[in-house]
Amino acid sequence: MKEKIKLLKGDITEQEVDAIVNAANSGLLGGGGVDGAIHKAGGKVIDEECKEIRDREGGCPTGKAVITHGGNLKANYVIHAVGPIWKDGNNDEDNLLASAYIESLKIADKYNLKTIAFPSISTGAYGFPVERAAKIALRAVSDYLDKSQIKEVRFVLYSDNDYDVYSKAYDEL
């Protein structure tokens, strides 16, 4: 359901939604990029709950997601999704990327969350080509929303180029 998807340019840490999604790593250790920004803005609650999940479950596999509270963020929750590291496109990268989005939305539905914001997972440090990622992300989310209680999904793009790429993919959806 494409109509429930909104694209905007901005900083995901400032979004007033039920949950923001983090582009995390399997160790849930924090890092650079959007992960670093979310851990910094949310504060120690996020670090502590990530550590609990790491101690209990050993982290989060690629293509899956876990949830913590949002700490000092406006969002009540952070869903930490782990996208694939891009190699050459022949290592299941497309499916793993779609899965990172879908698993995040499944957790949101389980927690009865209605508004969710995503960054462009895997297209920074993990090197996934953004044109290809935008098509996969929008298709996966749009299809999932056909059978979900979620009211709005925002893609919060950090650069003008990413915003343009996602806009084109949205128009072609």
Catalytic residues: 35
Nearest alpha carbon to residue 155 among 68, 77, 169: 169
SS in 3 state form for 38-75? Answer: HHHHHCHHHHHHHHHHHHHHCCCCCCCEEEEECCCCCC
**Whose Cβ is closer to ligand AR6: residue 82's or residue 108's?**
82
Q: In the bound complex, what is the minimum distance in angstroms from residue 125's beta carbon to ligand AR6?
A: 4
Q: Return the residue of 1, 2, 9, 37 that touches ligand AR6, per CB under 6 A.
A: 37
Contact status: 156 vs ligand AR6 (CB under 6 A): yes
**Whose Cβ is closer to ligand AR6: residue 48's or residue 112's?**
48
Q: In the bound complex, what is the minimum distance in angstroms from residue 26's beta carbon to ligand AR6?
A: 8
Site size toward ligand AR6, by CB under 6 A: 25
Contacts of 106 by beta carbon, 8 Å cutoff, 6+ apart: 65
Helices and strands (H and E) in the chain: how many:
5, 6
Q: Which structure tokens are listed for 172? A: 């072609």
| Residue ranges that bind ligand AR6, judged by CB under 6 A | 11-13, 23-25, 31-35, 37, 83, 119-126, 156, 158-159, 162
